């Protein structure tokens, strides 16, 4: 953990060392440049200035003298020496210096065309001088880029010396212009203006250079400027500016200018050598300081590394102990407490929560105390949540049991009323109430499932899968939309039959709710290698694939019941029932666009015994307070409700159906023989040899009304 700061410190030290070493190298590089391109460029400038002056005379006289040819040869030699020195400078020529060097090389390449124009008489005196001025301007721009030293005093002196060198170039331009004018004894107006500009520039550059030089370098220049030669030159220069004519004494002018340029050249060379020595000395001092600082810095870095490693080991050991305690808390102790709470065990936050055993520095101890505080808070919150869930579950259970007791009593009362009623209209109404009561009983059982308890309906012997499916369909409001297809013979363990009925009923009801009301719901089953598979398919819009995956994950591993998550309470009940018996439930998209719910009952719950037969009254009862022992069992396993076709056929016999096509509820009439319970024996009716008038009247009235309604429905279907 401490390695990264140490590496950063070392990198920072190396970066600072590189910067300071770079400054020393820059000073040494400046000295190298002076010894190579600096010396040769000075000689090149002098030769270009001399050729410019002779070329101005040649333009005026229209004669190419041997003196001009010899000067051109000396200039060519200076160019060759300069280019060779630029190659020898090597790495001292940086990328910043390379561009002005290339520009100067291009300007030197134009010397041939400048000379050709002069030889052919195509250039005037001022045009020729300006052509040479352009080459010398490129040379002086190269000088400006050479003055790049990291030492500020040296940079200031080098800049001042550069100004003195530029002033010397301006004097050479004045000399070249007047040399040509002395031949014909006149200055044109553009030439006089150019000379005036040269004079002003020279005066400015001398003032600027003197202001920047220190005492040691300024003294020699002040002596030259105060000498008689320079005063004579300045006086003649002023006269030319004033009169606009060349000096009357050409020899005096040439002598004065020559002496001034010679003095300035000597001062330039000596001053450059002084600056070079200073740069070398400064570079040496800087490198020595860098070496000392680098060694001391390296020692400091190494000492920091040693100390940091020792401190890091101690801190690492303390953090390792804290980490072990935190891992034990998060992966062992807290999960164990949460598991105990999930099982319903009593947990005392004060006794069962042990403090973290952490030792070390004050900071580590404080962190350990903070973890312990977080642990206590988390356990108290978990205990509170567990107590809240237990309270809510107990409320669910109490409400469900009370409701179930009332519902079973209501079912028993409906059985009694149906046995005593012969009016088809009343029978239809009683059947509707019976159906609503059956659905209410399923919802009450859902509350019991949410509370974590198990409903009390169960049978000792296996129950037919077909009876379970039909009983589930009977508990759905829109049972008429459900089509139960043929199923292979199979029986489910009696202890699972009630929960499986509830599970299938929830899936069927979910299919009816999320599909158009005019579409059918298909329920089919098949005996497979892993058990018995039941499919519930609707023709709705279906769901996105991601939502199917989320629902299947919740069905496979039902989470703790959350009161705020009640949008899909039926699927939560399905998941809990499936988890209780190891049943697999999965939703997927139907080929018809809707949803198919697949229920796979494991092989261990599929019984090979024969299903319950008539007369087997061994239903397991009494597991819930107030559970009905009569009609409730019959309804839970009724062999289905009639379809619309069955209703119409039932109208042929009045005693077998109602006016709406619903069957008259006969206790355990359609129940599988295995599920029938022994009813309480009723007293045998008195045997009569003939019906009373009232009974005959009721019978024929019912028959007449049933026949009339059957004809009306048949007529309506024919017209449709």
The band of 7, judged by pLDDT with boundaries at 50, 70 and 90, is: low
pLDDT value at residue 662: 45
Q: What is the DSSP letter of 624?
A: S
**Residue 694 pLDDT greater than 80, yes or no:** no
Q: What is the DSSP letter of 150?
A: S
Alpha helices in 346-423 (DSSP H): 349-352, 362-420
Q: How far apart are the first and last CA of the chain?
A: 84
**Which range, 361-365, 567-571, 597-601, 665-669, is most confident?**
597-601
**Residue 660 pLDDT greater than 50, yes or no:** no
Nearest CA among 535, 542, 541 for reference residue 483: 535
The band of 20, judged by pLDDT with boundaries at 50, 70 and 90, is: low
Q: At a CB cut-off of 8 Å and minimum separation 6, what does 282 contact? A: 27, 151, 154
Integer Cα distance of 229 and 237 in angstroms? 12
Q: What is the mean pLDDT of residues 526-552?
A: 90
Burial tier of 169 (Cβ tally within 10 Å: 0-12, 13-18, 19+): buried
Domains present along the chain, CATH in parentheses = 3-299 (no CATH), 405-719 (3.30.565.10)
**What distances in angstroms separate CA 388 from CA 341, 353, 377, 453, 654, one per listed residue?**
11, 20, 16, 16, 56
The band of 459, judged by pLDDT with boundaries at 50, 70 and 90, is: confident
Higher pLDDT, 710 or 132: 132
**Residue 381 pLDDT greater than 70, yes or no:** yes
Q: What is the mean pLDDT of residues 552-568?
A: 72
pLDDT value at residue 535: 93
Higher pLDDT, 450 or 667: 450
**Residue 578 pLDDT greater than 70, yes or no:** yes
pLDDT value at residue 58: 87
Nearest CA among 164, 162, 156 for reference residue 222: 164
pLDDT value at residue 709: 61
Higher pLDDT, 565 or 318: 318
Q: pLDDT averaged over the chain?
A: 75
Higher pLDDT, 171 or 306: 171
**What distances in angstroms separate CA 433 from CA 341, 356, 371, 426, 658, one per listed residue?**
42, 63, 60, 11, 14
Which stretch of 425-434, 460-469, 597-606 has the lowest confidence by average pLDDT?
425-434
**Residue 633 pLDDT greater than 70, yes or no:** no
**Residue 720 pLDDT greater than 90, yes or no:** no
Q: What is the mean pLDDT of residues 241-250?
A: 90
Q: At a CB cut-off of 8 Å and minimum separation 6, what does 498 contact? A: 455, 457, 458, 459, 636
Higher pLDDT, 326 or 534: 534
pTM reported for the whole predicted model = 0.41
Question: What per-residue string of b and e applies to 403-432 under the rule 16 or more CB within 10 Å gives b?
Answer: bbbebbebbeebbebbeeeeebeebbbbbe
Burial tier of 7 (Cβ tally within 10 Å: 0-12, 13-18, 19+): exposed
**Residue 104 pLDDT greater than 80, yes or no:** yes
Higher pLDDT, 449 or 211: 211
Integer Cα distance of 133 and 123 in angstroms? 14
> CA quadruple 255, 258, 264, 265: dihedral positive or negative?
negative
- The alpha carbon of 577 is separated from its chain's Cα centroid by a whole number of angstroms, namely 40
User: Residue written as tokens 């300006």?
Assistant: 130
pLDDT value at residue 230: 92
The band of 626, judged by pLDDT with boundaries at 50, 70 and 90, is: very low
Higher pLDDT, 262 or 623: 262
- Write down how long the chain is: 720
Nearest CA among 122, 250, 231, 227 for reference residue 177: 250
Higher pLDDT, 329 or 620: 329
**Residue 157 pLDDT greater than 90, yes or no:** no
Integer Cα distance of 137 and 125 in angstroms? 18
Higher pLDDT, 1 or 284: 284
Integer Cα distance of 31 and 92 in angstroms? 9
Q: What is the pLDDT of residues 218-233, one digit of tens each?
A: 899 999 999 999 999 9
**Which range, 294-308, 611-625, 641-655, is most confident?**
294-308
Integer Cα distance of 213 and 114 in angstroms? 37
Q: What is the mean pLDDT of residues 108-137?
A: 89
**What distances in angstroms separate CA 261 from CA 169, 212, 657, 703, one per listed residue?**
9, 21, 138, 147
**What distances in angstroms separate CA 296 from CA 292, 299, 401, 405, 483, one per listed residue?**
6, 5, 86, 92, 93
Higher pLDDT, 268 or 332: 268
């Amino acid at each position: 953990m401490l390695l990264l700061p140490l590496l950063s410190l070392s990198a920072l030290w190396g970066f600072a060392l590189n910067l300071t070493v770079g400054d020393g190298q820059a000073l040494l590089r400046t000295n190298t440049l002076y010894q190579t391109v600096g010396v040769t460029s000075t000689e090149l400038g002098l030769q270009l200035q001399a050729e410019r002056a002779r070329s101005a005379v040649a333009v005026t006289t229209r004669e190419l003298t041997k003196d001009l040819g010899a000067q051109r040869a000396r200039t060519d030699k200076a160019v060759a020496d300069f280019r060779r020195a630029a190659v020898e400078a090597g790495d001292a020529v940086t990328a910043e210096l390379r561009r002005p060097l290339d520009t100067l090389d291009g300007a030197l390449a134009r010397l041939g065309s400048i000379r050709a124009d002069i030889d052919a008489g195509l250039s005037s005196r001022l045009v020729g001088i300006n052509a040479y001025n352009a080459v010398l301007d490129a040379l002086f721009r190269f000088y400006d880029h050479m003055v790049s030293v990291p030492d500020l005093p040296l940079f200031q002196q080098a800049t001042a010396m550069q100004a003195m060198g530029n002033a010397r170039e301006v004097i050479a331009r004045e000399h070249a212009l007047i040399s040509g004018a002395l031949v014909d004894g006149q200055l044109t107006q553009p030439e006089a203006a150019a000379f005036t500009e040269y004079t002003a520039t020279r005066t400015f550059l001398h003032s600027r250079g003197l202001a920047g030089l220190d005492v040691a370098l300024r003294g020699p220049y002040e002596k030259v400027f105060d000498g008689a030669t320079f005063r004579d030159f300045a006086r003649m220069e002023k006269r030319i500016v004033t009169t606009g004519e060349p000096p009357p004494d050409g020899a005096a002018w040439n002598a004065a200018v020559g002496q001034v340029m010679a003095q300035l050249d000597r001062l330039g060379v000596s001053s450059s050598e002084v600056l070079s020595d200073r740069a070398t000395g400064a570079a040496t001092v800087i490198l020595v300081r860098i070496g000392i600082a680098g060694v001391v810095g390296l020692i400091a870095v190494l000492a920091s590394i040693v100390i940091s490693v020792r401190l890091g080991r101690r801190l690492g050991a303390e953090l390792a102990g804290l980490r072990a305690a935190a891992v034990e808390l998060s992966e062992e102790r807290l999960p164990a407490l949460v598991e105990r709470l999930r099982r319903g065990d009593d947990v005392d936050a004060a006794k069962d929560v042990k403090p973290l055993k952490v030792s070390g520095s004050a900071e580590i101890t404080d962190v350990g105390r903070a973890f312990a505080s977080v642990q206590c808070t988390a356990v108290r919150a978990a205990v509170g949540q567990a107590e809240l869930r237990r309270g809510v579950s107990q409320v669910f259970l109490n409400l469900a049991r009370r409701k179930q007791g009332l519902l079973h009593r209501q079912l028993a009362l409906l059985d009694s009323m149906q046995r005593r009623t012969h009016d088809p209209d009343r029978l239809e109404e009683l059947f509707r109430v019976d159906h609503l009561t059956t659905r209410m009983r399923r919802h009450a059982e859902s509350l019991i499932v949410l509370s974590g308890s198990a409903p009390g309906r169960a049978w000792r012997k296996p129950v037919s899968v077909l009876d379970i499916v039909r009983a589930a369909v009977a508990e759905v409001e829109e049972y008429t939309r459900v089509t139960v297809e043929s199923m292979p013979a199979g029986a489910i363990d009696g202890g699972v039959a009630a929960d499986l009925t509830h599970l299938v009923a929830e899936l069927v009801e979910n299919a009816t709710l999320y599909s158009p009301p005019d579409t059918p719901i298909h329920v089919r089953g098949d005996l497979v290698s892993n058990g018995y598979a039941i499919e519930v398919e609707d023709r709705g819009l279906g769901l996105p694939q991601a939502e199917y995956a989320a629902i299947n994950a919740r069905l496979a591993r039902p989470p703790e019941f959350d009161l705020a998550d009640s949008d899909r309470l039926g699927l939560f009940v399905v998941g809990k029932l499936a988890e209780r018996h190891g049943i697999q439930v999965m939703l997927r998209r139907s080929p018809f666009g809707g949803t198919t719910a697949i229920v796979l009952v494991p092989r261990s719950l599929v019984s090979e015994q024969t299903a319950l037969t008539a007369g087997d009254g061994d239903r397991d009862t009494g597991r819930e307070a107030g559970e009905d022992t009569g009609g409730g069992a019959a309804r839970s396993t009724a062999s289905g409700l009639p379809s619309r076709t069955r209703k119409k056929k039932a109208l042929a016999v009045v005693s077998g159906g109602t006016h709406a096509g619903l069957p008259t509820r006969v206790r355990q009439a359609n129940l599988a023989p295995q599920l029938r319970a022994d009813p309480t024996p009723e007293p045998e009716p008195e045997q009569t040899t003939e019906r009373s008038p009232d009974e005959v009247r009721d019978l024929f009235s019912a028959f007449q009304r049933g026949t009339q309604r059957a004809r009306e429905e048949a007529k309506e279907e024919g017209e449709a």
